[in-house]
């Protein structure tokens, strides 16, 4: 492929495309089939990307936590396309457990994937993004998948911590790279109909039961969290609907933030206006925190 051919169409890299019905895979297909991007769809295990390869997308083995894997992916895209117009940091893991019982090692691993990896990818691919911006005569785009879990829902605190930091990362990057011809978009997602929201795929931080002994057995806490997830799942928009809207925005004139899913409306417009004591009451009530404690201490609220 010549360099001229390589720069004829915009180029996108999307991480976390392993599940066929995942946001990453669906977004990759939408960008390629509808908006004409050359899409590099990546995952830690390349064999999970066979369906996307069959659709004509470029597939890429990429472990976002490994520096050598990121370096190899950078070289591959530089050789194959010579530029990058869109980087979507979608790879991530979720998890649940009371913070008092969360494995510190598992929390570190979650932060590594959800927070540190996106920055590592941005650092590696920014030269190609600058090249893409110059070739296209328009801003290149970095899109970071964040979450309304940053609002502080009990029992998914580790995930919320990692995504809150990811949101700050995205905000700071947006301000730092604006003059380099790069737009940064924060995707503030609530629950969307995916395997994760259905409860079929969850990254458990502890394997057995809360080690502190202060909460009920793990299966009781787990059932409560998954029950809330399933309730949100029932109200959530289809992943195809969300990815269609997101792809259209990223391909045309992306805003600084895109909100989607349940309860993104609440997270965007309502929660910032509510008193802290009221949010504490509501979140504890939703997640049945008092019922999860083995011997609750009865005091005035």
Domain ranges of the chain: 3-263+277-292
122-141 pLDDT per residue, tens: 999 999 999 999 999 999 99
Has residue 239 got a pLDDT over 50?
Answer: yes
38-94 pLDDT per residue, tens: 999 999 999 999 999 999 999 999 999 999 999 999 999 999 999 999 999 999 998
Where do the DSSP E strands lie in 166-211? 182-189
pLDDT mean over 107-120: 96
pLDDT given for residue 147 in this prediction: 96
36-46 pLDDT per residue, tens: 999 999 999 99
Longest pairwise C-alpha distance within the chain: 72
pLDDT given for residue 13 in this prediction: 98
Where do the DSSP E strands lie in the chain? 11-14, 38-43, 58-61, 86-89, 140-147, 182-189, 257-260
pTM: 0.92
pLDDT mean over 240-257: 97
158-167 pLDDT per residue, tens: 999 999 999 9
Give the C-alpha separation, 137 to 121, whole Å: 23
| CATH superfamily placement of domain 3-263+277-292 | NAD(P)-binding Rossmann-like Domain (3.40.50.720)
Active site residues: 159
Phi, psi (rounded to 5 degrees) for 23:
-60, -40
pLDDT mean over 103-121: 94
Tally: H helices and E strands in the chain:
12, 7
Eight-class DSSP state of 299: -
pLDDT given for residue 1 in this prediction: 36
């Amino acid at each position: 492929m010549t360099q001229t051919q390589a720069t004829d169409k915009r180029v996108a890299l999307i991480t976390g495309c392993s599940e066929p019905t995942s946001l990453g895979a669906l977004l990759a297909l939408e960008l390629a089939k509808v908006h004409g991007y050359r899409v590099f769809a990546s995952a830690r295990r390349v064999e999970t990307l066979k369906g996307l390869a069959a659709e004509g997308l470029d597939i890429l083995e990429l472990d976002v936590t490994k520096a050598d894997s990121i370096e190899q992916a950078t070289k591959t895209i530089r050789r194959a396309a010579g530029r990058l117009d869109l980087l979507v940091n979608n790879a991530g893991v979720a998890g649940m457990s009371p913070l008092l019982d969360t494995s510190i090692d598992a929390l570190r691993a979650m932060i590594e994937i959800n927070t540190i990896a996106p920055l590592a990818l941005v650092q590696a691919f920014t030269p190609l993004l600058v090249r893409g911006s110059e070739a296209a005569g328009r801003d290149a785009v970095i899109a970071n998948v964040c979450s309304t879990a940053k609002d502080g829902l009990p029992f998914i605190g580790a995930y919320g911590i990692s995504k809150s930091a990811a949101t700050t990362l995205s905000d700071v990057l947006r301000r730092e790279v604006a003059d380099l011809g790069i737009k940064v978009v924060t995707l503030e997602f609530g629950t969307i109909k995916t395997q994760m929201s259905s409860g079929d795929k969850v990254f458990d931080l502890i394997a057995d039961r809360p080690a502190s002994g202060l909460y009920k057995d793990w299966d009781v806490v787990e059932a409560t969290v998954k029950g809330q997830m399933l309730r949100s799942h029932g109200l959530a928009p289809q992943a195809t609907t969300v990815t269609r809207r997101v792809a259209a925005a990223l391909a045309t004139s992306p805003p600084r933030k895109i909100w989607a899913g349940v309860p993104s409306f609440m997270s965007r417009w309502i929660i910032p206006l509510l008193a802290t004591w009221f949010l504490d009451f509501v979140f504890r009530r939703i997640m049945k925190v008092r019922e999860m404690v083995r011997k609750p201490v009865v005091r005035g609220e």
